[in-house]
Structure 1
Amino acid sequence: MLYHLDFRVQYPPTMSQEELFAIWSEEADAAMNAKEAGIVVSVWKCVGTRRVIAIVDVESPNQLDQIIMDLPIVKKLGQYVNIEVTSLRPYEDFATDLKARKS
């Protein structure tokens, strides 16, 4: 199952940018490892903002929820990380359905 994840990261006013970057560096390692494992299909950092977008391929919503709860950035900054999750469907499947409905 494919999902679009949109992460928006904030941090507490008592945390320095250096501390944030240390946590984010751990998160970057986790993301690259997940990409090598085939879980992360692709991941992007939005320029000029604390926003990351990823496409992931997992077996179930349960697995995705477990993965999200184990992310370093969620473990350390959970209340400051907003994640919007959208289930994705291959466009080819959608196109096939449309053609079947035309007949």
Structure 2
Amino acid sequence: MLYHLDFHVEYSANMSQKDLFKIWAKEADAALDAKAVGVVVDLWKCVGTRRVIAIVNVDTPDTLDQILLDLPIMQEMGQHVQVEVTPLRRYEDFAADVKERLKS
């Protein structure tokens, strides 16, 4: 199953930017490792904001939930990370469904 993940990262006043970057560097390694094995289809950092968008491919929602809980950024500062999750449907499958519905 494909999912669109939209991460919004904040940090507390008692955390320096350097502290944030240390955690984010660990997160970047984990994300790129997941991309190398195909769990992450692709990911992007939004310019000018602490926002990352990813498309992931996992078998079940349970697997996705487990992955999210295990991310370095979630373990170290999860209270400052919001993730919006949207399940995705391949457009080719949708288009075929629409065309089939026209037949009836």
With normalisation by structure 2, the TM-score equals 0.98
* Residue equivalent to 1:5: 5
TM alignment of 1:59-78, pairs within 5 A: 59-78=59-78
Identity %: 63
* Residue equivalent to 2:101: 101
Alpha-carbon distance, 1:42 to partner: 0.1
* Residue equivalent to 1:35: 35
Give unpaired runs (5+ residues) of structure 2. Answer: none
Give unpaired runs (5+ residues) of structure 1. Answer: none
TM alignment of 1:9-20, pairs within 5 A: 9-20=9-20
Aligned residues: 103
Task: Find the aligned partners of 2:33 and 2:78 in 1 and give their Cα distance.
Answer: 21
TM alignment of 1:37-56, pairs within 5 A: 37-56=37-56
Report SS of the residue matched to 1:76.
helix
Alpha-carbon distance, 1:35 to partner: 0.3
* Residue equivalent to 1:88: 88
